[in-house]
Structure formats: C-alpha cells, structure tokens
Structure 1
Amino acid sequence: MILQDVQATPDSRGVPLDEVGVEGLRYPVLVADGQGAKRETVGTATMSVSLGHEVKGAHLSRFIEVLHEAREQLSLSGIATIAEDLRQRMASPTSRVSLGFPYFLERSAPVTGARGFVDYACSLAAVSAAEGTQVTIAVTVPVTSVCPCSKAISDRGAHNQRGHITIEVEPTDPQNGLWFDELIDIAEKSASSPVYAVLKRPDERHVTMAGYDSPAFVEDMVRNVAQSLKTLESVVAYRLRAVNDESIHNHAAYAAVSWTRRTGDA
C-alpha cells in the first residue's frame, strides 16, 4: 500500500517559515569531557529548519534520526555536524540545533580532599547555512561572592551570597575550541570562591576565609571573566552574565557584557 506524504506536497500561500521543528526533546547522550573521555547525561534538544514558501511541512521523524545517529559524539564539532546533516537531509536553507544538559565534574574539598560531584548547566548550539556553520558553547557556573562594600564598612564580617556566572562563547574553530572544563575554571577563579559538593569543617573554614580575602561585585566577576577570555585566540566572541541572589536584599544583582573579536567592541 502506498501511503500519501502530505508534508511533501506544495503549499500555495506564499509564506516562508523561519523555523519548524521539535523542542523539549529529552534524549540520552554521550558528551566529550576535558580529559579525553565521554560522560553520560540526558540532553534536552531543540532542533529546527527553515522552510521555503512552497514547502508544506518538515518530516519531524528525521530530527530524531539525526540526533540518534550522533548522540554518542557530542562536542563542538559534533553539534556542527548535526546541524549540517539536518539541513542537508531536510533540503532546507538553514537549520538550528541546541542541546542543554547537566555536566558533572568531580571536585575535591580544598583542605581535606573530600570528593563529590558538582553539576553545571551546559549547552551546545549550532546554526547551519550554505555559507557555513556557526557554533556556540555555554555554561552556567555556581559561585560564591563576598560583597566588597560590606567588608569595607563593617567592623566584623561581610555579607556573601550564592551567584551564577553564565559564559556563552563562539569559538574561532569548532574543531579546536574551548571546552566546558576550561570555561568553568575561568568562572570559578573570577568569583570569591567556587562551590563544592562536600565540605568538612576544615574545608568550610578555608572557603569562608578565602572568600573574605577575595571580595567581588557582579561587575568584578564579569570583568574578570572578560579579561581571561580576551587573551584566548580560540574565542571569537562572548556574552557574559553574572547574577547574585543578594543575601540582604529582596532582589538579585546582575552585570552583563558582550564582545566580538570581529570589531573589538565590548
């Protein structure tokens, strides 16, 4: 029996579509890590293609097939391959793929060496067109910050809070770009202190005093990250954002900056 392919029939309304696809797709994937191995995690994918005015619809099953075939090779070059493969299979002008997932790193407490996993919210994205494919990598890193103003005006102590630094980078070359581990390290060094999964009493004492010795506003944190990224030839553009959940205010504080090597503007 021949089944009719309605999506392959022409459309006569003359309206091209920017994006048609799937979102909220949860899928098991293997993600490359900074040590040359792979980590199992669960990704949430959004995948789309553009449609010409004459094309009625997209074959959604092909999105899943493309992701399934590449699910064990997630990397900067891997996400670019997914976007390019999707565009070719769908015969579309452009395709977009983004995949977010938790990325776990084992961390040692600073004094006792007690070990535990910290999770970082990470994502890979790619936009493919006839002229090429653009890739971005992003990570949100939990940190601690101690308020420099509070420290300066107080007889004892200083207020501190949990915060997050988000780094989104466009690499110069997807085949040889940054990876999550390096971006996480840059973010943690730009704050007052990293956060840890396990802290014994000697570790807690160390973290408290180390943070007090390195106070940082949200402005300081994004500028510290920016300074580190601008020295890396592997970075062509970035977008940075730091947010503190203020411990003595009923609001959050944030700072953001973007930059591209194409113009040098910040």
Structure 2
Amino acid sequence: MRIPFLTVPVMKPIRVMPDVALDRASSARALDRVGMAGIALPVRTRSATGETLQVPARVDVYVDLRDPDVRGIHMSRLYLRLQHAFAAEEMTPDGLGRVLAALVETQGALSRGAWLTIRFDHLVLRPALASANAGWKAYPVEVLASIVDGRVAIDLDVSVDYSSTCPASAALSRQMSAEAFARQFGAEGTVDAAAVHDWLRSEPGLVATPHAQRSRAHVRVRLVEGLASLPIVELIDRIEDALGTPVQTAVKREDEQAFAALNARNLMFCEDAARRVAHGLASDANVVRFELDVAHFESLHAHDACAAVSGEGGAA
C-alpha cells in the first residue's frame, strides 16, 4: 500500500512595509485641514421632476489634524470611504452628515472635524417662453458640508446667468426715439396712425437701442437644519424669479420677442439685480443666511459692473 506524499506548506515571511507617516513630525504643529482636492466621483441629485440623476462631480475632502506630533493623516481611508458615498442614493443633508461623521471616524483620534466640497452641473429642462420647445440648462452647483465636534453645517452655492438691460441706456434711447418722432411727424397736431405704425416698423423708426449683456448671479446660502433634500432647483427658481430675465435655451422668433419684452420690463443696474435677489432670499424659509454677488459683463465698457450683499434668510 502506497502512502500518499504529504506536502507541508512553506510559510512565507510577512513582508512589513514602511509607513513613514507614523514618524514624529519634525516641526510639531496641529493643522487646520489636510486632505485632497478634485476627486472624481459620481453623485446622485434630485431633478426638477423628482427623479434622481447621476452626475459627474469633483470633490474636495479635508479633516483636521489635532495632534501636533503626528506627521500625517490616513488619506487613503478618506478616498476609499468616498468612492461610493453618493453613487447609490440621492445626496441629502442627512446622508451628508453620515458621510462626514464616517470620515472623522476613519482617522481615529487624529481628527474632530471634516469638510466636503462637491462641485457639479445641475441640469434642468426649461420650457421656451412662447413656443412649444424646451432645452436643457446647466447650473454650476457647489455643496459645502462640514462637521465639527458632531455639529453639521451645509451651504449651497449656485450660479445663475441672466440678461441685464441698462436703465440709463434705455432712458437715453427713449429720448432719441421721442426726438426722432417729433422730427418725423411734428411736435404738435394730429398724426396719421397708419403712418406712425409703418414708421415704427421701419429701420428709421428704430433710432437707438439700450445696451444689454449676459450677467451672472453667484449665491451662497446656509441651509436650515432638518431639510429632507437639498433645495437646489428651488433656490435656482427663486433667483431667476427675482431677476425676471434668465437666459434661455430653445429659442424661436416668438421666444426671442418675448425675451425682449421681459428685458424691457426688467431694466436693472447691477445694484438693482443684487437687491432683487437679496429680497427673494430674505423670505426663503430654507435659508438661514446668504451671501451673493452679481456681475454684469458690460457691452458698453471693457470692464464689468459688480455688486455684492449679504443678509439673513427667512429661516433666521
């Protein structure tokens, strides 16, 4: 009878890899923030119709380093914890709080706070002003979330493009139109309505046009605690409603004409635009406080006209 040959496994020696992050810091000092910027991640957000959409995002993540003698944090733990943090379910205030707490836990006793900045474009399908068309519009969004000693704070940052027609230029244009009308039809007496109609539709009837330009409102708000979702579309709508002239997507001639009429009803300096948006945010129950700035990318000047204002929201 043959006895089977038994092989004894050879135990390989455990390979110990150096970890210089465990070395003592050469210049002892606690650090406010340590982490990574520009991490590519998928994020799920809520659309205007209630569905969740997955969008590409860039994420910055930081923790504090409280021990002055520790050389470095566990950076790979932060990266790995974030890989699927917002891909499986909608990003919400509650979910952000859980992720932030988990980021602090990855560092053991090294950290007491964590910070996230999540940047992405939020797509909204916008109807045309007059025609039956619609088009997608991208809004740059930043979600800034932090946890320090267990307290979570969330800021929402959005940018909205709009059109601004200069009130001074409009007044000067109206004056030139009135003077041209007087020269054409006389300053006194009756005029033929049909002749006036034809003259206004002709090129000589358009004497001057006010200057207008694409403009941008940049708004950052501190959200009230306890929200079930991030009010991204609600904030964008509030800003656009306050301004009255958001830039359009699909445009036919009837839409362009309607847009011209909106601009005529919403003449504004940059100061007017800033006050309009601030007034809208001051009554927003989702907002504790806000900071905003507007920039009119002038067509008259080679420089921009800008204004900024801050204040308390409706939740304050």
Answer whether TM exceeds 0.5 for this pair: yes
C-alpha displacement of 1:17: 1.0
* Candidates 44, 52, 69, aligned match of 1:54: 69
Which residue type is aligned with residue 115 of structure 2? R
* Structure with the largest fraction of strand: 1
* 2:153 alignment partner, one of 134, 147, 167: 134
Q: Which residue of 1 aligns with 2:58?
A: 44
**What are the residue-to-residue correspondences of 1:45-84 with 2, within 5 Å?**
45-52=59-66, 53-72=68-87, 73-84=90-101
Task: Give, as a single letter, the amino acid of the residue that structure 1 aligns with 2:303.
Answer: H
> In the alignment, what sits opposite 2:163?
144
Report the alpha carbon displacement of residue 198 of structure 1 after superposing the two structures with TM.
1.1
Paired residues for 1:1-266 under 5 Å: 1-11=15-25, 13-52=27-66, 53-72=68-87, 73-91=90-108, 92-155=111-174, 156-176=208-228, 179-260=231-312
After superposition, the Cα gap between the structure-2 partners of 1:77 and 1:152, relative to the gap in structure 1 and judged at 3 Å, is farther
Counterpart residue type for residue 5 of structure 1: D
- Compute the TM-score of the two structures, normalised by the length of structure 2: 0.78
Q: Distance in 2 between matches of 1:230 and 1:192?
A: 17
Tell whether the 8 Å contact from 1:163 to 1:245 is kept in structure 2 after alignment.
Answer: yes
What value does the CA root-mean-square deviation take over the aligned residues? 2.0
Report the alpha carbon displacement of residue 261 of structure 1 after superposing the two structures with TM: 6.1
Secondary structure at the counterpart of residue 11 of structure 1: coil
Contact kept, 8 Å, 1:106 with 1:116, in 2: the verdict is yes
Q: What is the TM-score normalised by the length of structure 1? A: 0.91
For residues 78 and 121 of structure 1, what CA distance do their matches in structure 2 show? 21
Structure 1 residue 177 displacement after superposition? 6.3
How many correspondences in the alignment?
Answer: 263
Q: Does the 8 Å contact 1:176/1:234 carry over to 2?
A: no
Question: Distance in 2 between the 1:97 and 1:78 partners?
Answer: 12
Describe the shift of the 1:233–1:58 C-alpha distance in structure 2 as closer, same or farther (beyond 3 A). Answer: same
The question of whether the paired residues in 2 share the 8 Å contact of 1:236 and 1:260 is answered with yes
1:157 CA drift (Å): 2.7
Structure 1 CA distance for aligned equivalents of residues 311 and 223 of structure 2: 13
Answer whether contact 2:92 2:228 (CA < 8 A) is retained. Answer: no
Matched-pair contact (CA < 8 Å) for 1:193–1:210: yes
Structure ID, larger Rg: 2
Please state how far the C-alpha of 1:100 moved relative to its aligned partner. 0.6
Structure 1: runs of 5 or more not aligned: none
Tell me the SS of whatever aligns to 1:102. Answer: strand
CA deviation profile, 1:80-126 (whole Å, cap 9, x unmatched): 33222211222312211101111110111111121110100001011
Any idea what SS the aligned residue of 1:175 has? Answer: coil
Taking the aligned partners of 2:227 and 2:291, their CA distance within structure 1 comes to: 21
In structure 2, distance between residues paired with 1:231 and 1:83:
30
| Residue aligned with 1:202, SS | helix
Deviation at 1:4, TM superposition (A): 3.3
